Amino acid sequence: MPHRLMCIVAHPDDECYAFGGALALAADRGIETHVICLTDGQAAKHRGNAASSAELGSIRRAEFAASCKVLGVTTHELLDYHDGQTSNIPFDEACEKLVARIRRLRPTVVITFGGDGGMNTHADHMMVSFVTTAAFHWSGREDRFPEAGLPFQPQRLFYVTTNVFLPERRKPLPAPWTATLDIRSVRERKSEAFRQHASQAPLMEATRGFFEKSGGEELYTLTASQETGPAEQWIDLFEGL
């Protein structure tokens, strides 16, 4: 089976600022990439010219699509959960939606946030980590959501992690990494994808210097795998597959 990469995030712009390097590198290798986003980002602090939350959501949907196009993403989808309120989502319902998509798209590798909430310790990032982790394991079980398709078990689950921290933000407790991706060859494309999120321009400007200094690699932690044995240090999410 050809390799496929699925990235599951909470908000439009997560796909590029956190995972853009992995997605672009995979696309350059001809690997199918699929991005699932739980919300349309209506609760964002930066609101561009939007006159309402609904208008901001519509704007951010278009920005998300444009960013995914820059990154070479094969398919992208926004679900309908409320930004800033993912701690209230029905857990089984959200898991079933993700299980159905995993079974249909059959990714080799799934990437998402860790339980720390990422660099900005965002609660929505924590929730997408929890629901994705459950969906990763349950997608391979016949007794979970049989109506969501035939069981399929991806081979690896990775959490994005970090060894650098945003200034003036609460410091997360990230997991030690097991994969270091050199993303220098796609660094400009990752930045270009972020620029598609024009409504978030103040955030881009505030973090520009940080990412210019520390944006040459992405770090990931292998969290689950069909393979058993001690963890190794890799430079490729698909290493050995």
Rounded to whole angstroms, the Cα distance separating 28 from 142 reads 35
How many C-beta atoms surround the C-beta of residue 32 within 10 A? 18
Q: Write the CA distances from 176 to 72, 109, 155, 179, 218, integer angstroms.
A: 29, 19, 20, 10, 13
pLDDT in tens, 138-175: 999 999 999 999 999 999 999 999 988 877 778 889 88
Across 8-16, average pLDDT: 95
Across 36-51, average pLDDT: 73
Rounded to whole angstroms, the Cα distance separating 96 from 70 reads 29
Q: Please tell me whether residue 23 adopts helix, strand or coil conformation.
A: helix
pLDDT in tens, 171-185: 889 889 999 999 999
| Stated length of the chain | 241
**pLDDT for the residue 50:** 63
Residue 206 has phi, psi (to 5 degrees) of -65, -30
The residues with which 4 forms a beta bridge, in sequence order, are 32
Rounded to whole angstroms, the Cα distance separating 95 from 40 reads 18
- Topology of the domain comprising 4-225: Rossmann fold (3.40.50)
**pLDDT for the residue 78:** 95
Across 30-56, average pLDDT: 80
pTM: 0.95
Tell me: pLDDT of 204 over 90: no
Q: pLDDT band for position 215 (50/70/90)?
A: confident
